[in-house]
Copies of this chain bind each other. A is one copy, B any other.
Amino acid sequence: MSETPSQVQPEMHPTRWGDPGRATPLPDAAAQLVELAFGPAAPRPTLDGAPLPPSGLGSEALDALRSVLGDDAVLVGDDVRRLRTRGKSTPDLLRARAGDLADAPDAVVRPADHDAVAAVLSWAVEHHVGVVPFGGGTSVTGGLAARRDGFAGLVSLDLGAMRRLLAVDPVSMTATLEPGLRGPEVEALLAAHGLTLGHYPQSFEHASIGGFAATRSSGQSSAGYGRFDAMVVALRVATPRGEWRLGRAPASAAGPDLRQLVLGSEGAFGVVTEVTVRVRPRPAAARYEGWRWPSFTAGADAMRRLAQSGVLPTVLRLSDESETALNLARPDAIGSGGSVGSGGCLMITGFEGDDAAVVARRDAVADVLAGLGGEPLGEEPGQSWRAGRFDAPYLRDSMLDAGVLVETLETAAFWSGRERLYDTVRTALTDALGEGALVLCHVSHVYETGCSLYFTVAAPAGDDALERWQVAKAAATDAMVAAGGTITHHHAVGTDHRPWLADEIGDLGVSVLRAVKADLDPTGVLNPGVLVP
């Protein structure tokens, strides 16, 4: 079988997030809050039409590639190169807004299938051209800012032409997907079979299957559906040394689980060309609710109890006091407090499944939460969060337009280290960003043994927003290391986290990654400088 999406997702400009048609000015409430917090708006100009550096790849090399892939699959126009320039971190946006498109690829290559990807890699090795796999372009860690020096050029390996549902196994409950499929496309294709993947990161509307695999993505529904790495049962990978297939059973003891070496390899070891994932029946019912907790600690402890009792909602998140007060969950009502009122911390619980399961799990969770002192707020806060769950990046653009720097970062720790990690990172960000900066946090994912912490900051952008953020980001990452947490829970290493990778996995871990890369990619053409220090 081979099914493809009926609709194509809009492409994203390097200066902002998402569908240009959905960009909106700052809501009034938010604008008022911005003025209250940061003074009069200082709108920042955006250079949308900044010139690109000329393509550095010679026509001989490009013609050689065209002869293999066809003319339509090798693009060098400024428009298409512009749309493949960097990812969607705030530094990426700030650079693009300032007219800096120095990381634009020299060409964009659109292979149609695994064999075409393999041909691109052979060509890249022969011509010593760096290859940057491009899925949805949503990296927030510099995963699309490969090192250029030492190479004859850099091409963006755009996987957007590889968007087929290749197989559905309704007995094993698996589906085989091509890497260029975006989140909504996957759900639409699976829905026709009565199935769902259930992977909903905030980048869902644009991010791709290949990106989910390459970055060990985690979604807003991971409490119920698991992280993406837990969904993957088999992989097909194109490497400079040939095809690599992994995954003959759900689990095996035939040596280390090498699927877990490909997951999170960020295009540095190979290009994922097929991903076989575990799927589930499409949920018939959904119920989202809000709960108020007297403190972040009380709410986090309740989450821990849920995770350790095995009674988990599909969605579970908890905002700290600051994030609750700002009510970031509702961009249309930022700062209003909404139904949560003042004080405390907002928890969102979401349940999806068949009707009976939703009721049963909702009741079991509500019993636990009520018993621990949670105050039920009914369905309105939950529905409100659900309605806006993918909108925050649009809000960030509006804030940047209004002269406010907004960025996020995340970490995770074991439960006993949660409070120290929270305090340490929060203090680092507050100290680095100075007076007037807002530092907000929520628990975005829970496990039996620990949880993630997802921070959002807002501060006046000023004239040196990029530099100031880089200082704050470094301070926050140092703090994560010092407090025993991980440097990233679900956003990958890219180039931004690379300086701290040895703190995370040790010098030996870095050495092992280098050895694996040298083995699979001897000339180092795959996403040079990304992941591997």
Residues on A facing B (Cβ under 8 Å): 169, 171-174, 215-218, 227, 229, 233, 239, 241-246, 248-258, 260-266, 278, 280, 304, 308, 411-417, 445, 447-452, 484-493, 497, 501, 504-509, 511-516, 518-520, 531
Query: In the complex, are the beta carbons of B493 and A278 less than 8 A apart?
Result: no
Q: How far is the CB of A439 from chain B (nearest CB, A)?
A: 20
User: Could you tell me the dominant secondary structure of chain A's interface residues?
Assistant: mixed
* CA distance in complex: A239, B507 (Å): 12
Chain B residue nearest in CB terms to A245: B506
Query: In the complex, are the beta carbons of B218 and A251 less than 8 A apart?
Result: yes
> Apart from A239-B508, A249-B452, A255-B505, what are 17 other A-B pairs with CB-CB below 8 Å?
A169-B416, A172-B414, A215-B253, A216-B253, A218-B251, A229-B257, A242-B507, A248-B413, A248-B485, A249-B489, A250-B412, A251-B486, A255-B265, A256-B264, A257-B264, A258-B261, A261-B512
Chosen A-B contacts, 21 in total, with CB atoms closer than 8 Å, are A169-B414, A169-B415, A171-B415, A172-B414, A174-B414, A241-B508, A243-B506, A243-B508, A248-B484, A249-B450, A249-B486, A250-B449, A251-B486, A252-B488, A253-B490, A253-B493, A255-B492, A280-B448, A508-B520, A512-B520, A515-B519
* CA distance in complex: A242, B227 (Å): 32
Q: Which residues of B contact A304 (CB under 8 A)?
A: 171
Chain B residue nearest in CB terms to A360: B364
Q: How far is the CB of A104 from chain B (nearest CB, A)?
A: 26
Query: In the complex, are the beta carbons of B258 and A505 less than 8 A apart?
Result: yes
Q: Which residues of B contact A411 (CB under 8 A)?
A: 249
Chain B residue nearest in CB terms to A234: B414
* CA distance in complex: A448, B172 (Å): 7
Query: In the complex, are the beta carbons of A416 and B171 less than 8 A apart?
Result: yes
Query: In the complex, are the beta carbons of A501 and B412 less than 8 A apart?
Result: no
Of all A-B residue pairs in the complex, the 7 with the closest CB atoms, nearest first, are A260-B260, A250-B447, A515-B519, A249-B412, A172-B414, A252-B486, A249-B486
Query: In the complex, are the beta carbons of B250 and A511 less than 8 A apart?
Result: no
* CA distance in complex: A408, B486 (Å): 42
* CA distance in complex: A497, B252 (Å): 13
Query: In the complex, are the beta carbons of B216 and A491 less than 8 A apart?
Result: no
Query: In the complex, are the beta carbons of B416 and A172 less than 8 A apart?
Result: yes
Q: How far is the CB of A358 from chain B (nearest CB, A)?
A: 13
Query: In the complex, are the beta carbons of A264 and B253 less than 8 A apart?
Result: yes
Q: How far is the CB of A493 from chain B (nearest CB, A)?
A: 5
Known: A308-B173, A415-B172. A508 touches B244 (CB 8 A): yes
Known: A171-B415, A449-B173, A506-B245. A254 touches B488 (CB 8 A): yes
Q: Which residues of B contact A485 (CB under 8 A)?
A: 248-249
Query: In the complex, are the beta carbons of A513 and B447 less than 8 A apart?
Result: no
